[in-house]
Structure 1
Amino acid sequence: MTSPIPLRIDFVSDVSCPWCAVGLASLERALQRLEGTVQADIHLQPFELNPQLPAEGEDATEHLMRKYGIDIGQVEANRAVIRERAASVGFAFNMRVGSRVYNTFDAHRLLHWAELEGRHLALKKALLRAYFTDGEDVASHAVLARLAGEAGLDGDEARRVLETGAYAGEVRSQERLFQQRGIRSVPATIVNGMHLIPGGQPPEVFEQALREIAASANH
């Protein structure tokens, strides 16, 4: 019996990126199908879609209309597409008129700490669910600390990380690194530091790409 092929996967994404939620759910489904074939070591890498946003955020519909030069009908049509794709991978996308978009830098700092604690995927999924499914403020330290606790982390330590500004330098450094490597849009899934799978692909696209990469890595 052959051993699973180890693959390092850097998943570059933002907490407020809907296609990142779709992509992560798709990637995890693909990896379930590849169980026994590949052994994935997933690292979450930070990317801020809207680093200039104030902590209180702003109306998401107005933000998208201004950012992309589209009207409210196009915003809602895009949301319908995302809602359908998200549902196909078991993720509930509930963004609507009245939803807000927030600054995600503190969420990325908390995710950096969570990776050191081995709970980064649990926290990432809690953050995506809190934002896209439940409409919560993912810039709020109270919300972030609660989600950390729900993800199996120490809530008091999470509050300390948030209040002290810990890991800000590390997050900025990782953001610069992947920008320098040419990442301009997310999600971006980088396998073994060289193979890029762009966008929130369906599970079968991830599965085929990872099979091919694993096969080439085995030669």
Structure 2
Amino acid sequence: MNIIYLSDFNCPYSYIGLNRIKSVCNELNLDVEWEMKSFELEPKLTTVLNATERYAARHGLTVDDAKKEIEEIEKIAKNDGLNLNYSNVQLANSKNAHRLVKYVEYNYPKLTQELILKIFEANFIKNENIAEHDVLIRTASSCGLDENEISKFLKRESYAIEVDLDMDEAISNGITSTPYYFINHGDKRLIIPGVFEKKDFKIAFEDLLSGEIENKTFI
């Protein structure tokens, strides 16, 4: 099975959805090839913003209403075993994080998914600034990557074009938000825009594997 997913490190549902899908794949004992496509939600961000205030602005809410919605997202994540601290996220540009993932995917593919999850953790659980090189170097090092190599890479602009091309391709196909999943099994493809409940993800995967997917519509 091959799973391609569009994701951003500033999107809590990208983290929640990936955690759910990986859990389902483990339960079904699936052999999966993973590929993350970059989709920056804040590509023009040059400063660090307060996550709650930015959430309010993006969704046309008062700050109090934004706090309530963020608390609900945190509760959803905690039910899945993710101790999100979304309200205290240092919302920063995610391009360096995406560039790093591209570099590792190309050079050390077996470490890519571990790195992705640890970047999400750095942002949403540890509340570190994922735009900072030191944070990304430390995160990459925890996956077994060489600090000096990663430091040298981050000082360059390598893979920035590849990150932008991912987003351009998504937008040209009418995709405007994350997460977004393409699950490929044999000659069949299941497309899921957004996050299912874990049980619904599992049903969808089981139906894809059994062929029942041809008789159902999930989206």
Counting matched residue pairs gives: 209
Give the C-alpha shift of residue 178 in structure 1.
Answer: 2.1
RMSD: 1.9
| 8 A Cα contact 1:12 1:188, kept in partner | yes
Q: Which residue, out of 174, 187, 190, partners 1:182?
A: 174
Q: Which residue, out of 8, 28, 32, partners 1:40?
A: 32
Matches within 5 A, 1:6-17: 7-17=1-11
Distance 2:174 2:205 in 1: 21
| 8 A Cα contact 2:129 2:135, kept in partner | yes
Give the C-alpha shift of residue 217 in structure 1.
Answer: 9.6
Over 3 Å counting, the alpha-carbon distance change for 1:218 and 1:87 in structure 2 is: closer
Give the C-alpha shift of residue 109 in structure 1.
Answer: 0.2
Over 3 Å counting, the alpha-carbon distance change for 1:153 and 1:208 in structure 2 is: same
| 8 A Cα contact 2:115 2:139, kept in partner | yes
| 8 A Cα contact 1:110 1:162, kept in partner | yes
Gaps of 5+ in 2: 215-219
Residue 193 of structure 2 is aligned to residue 215 of structure 1? no
Residue 101 of structure 2 is aligned to residue 111 of structure 1? yes
> Bigger shift: 42-51 or 166-175?
166-175
Over 3 Å counting, the alpha-carbon distance change for 1:218 and 1:64 in structure 2 is: closer
Distance 1:152 1:197 in 2: 32
Distance 1:132 1:99 in 2: 6
Give the C-alpha shift of residue 179 in structure 1.
Answer: 2.1
Q: Which amino acid aligns with 2:162?
A: E
| 8 A Cα contact 1:44 1:120, kept in partner | no
Q: TM-score, normalised by structure 1?
A: 0.89
Local SS of the residue matching 1:138: coil
After the TM superposition, which parts of structure 1 deviate over 4 Å for at least 4 consecutive aligned residues?
none
After superposition, the C-alpha distances for 1:136-167 in whole angstroms (9 at most, x for unaligned) are: 00000111111011122222221122101111
> Bigger shift: 43-52 or 169-178?
169-178
| 8 A Cα contact 2:207 2:213, kept in partner | no
Give the C-alpha shift of residue 218 in structure 1.
Answer: 11
After superposition, the C-alpha distances for 1:156-215 in whole angstroms (9 at most, x for unaligned) are: 221122101111111112221222222211111111284211222222121111112222
Q: Which residue of 2 aligns with 1:129?
A: 121
Q: Which residue of 1 aligns with 2:200?
A: 205
Residue 50 of structure 2 is aligned to residue 59 of structure 1? yes
Q: Which residue of 1 aligns with 2:16?
A: 22
Identity across the alignment (%):
27
| 8 A Cα contact 1:104 1:139, kept in partner | yes
Give the C-alpha shift of residue 216 in structure 1.
Answer: 2.7
Gaps of 5+ in 1: 1-6
| 8 A Cα contact 1:25 1:90, kept in partner | no
Residue 42 of structure 2 is aligned to residue 50 of structure 1? yes
Distance 1:157 1:217 in 2: 47
Distance 1:115 1:208 in 2: 29
Distance 2:95 2:213 in 1: 38
Q: Which amino acid aligns with 1:31?
A: C
Residue 163 of structure 2 is aligned to residue 171 of structure 1? yes
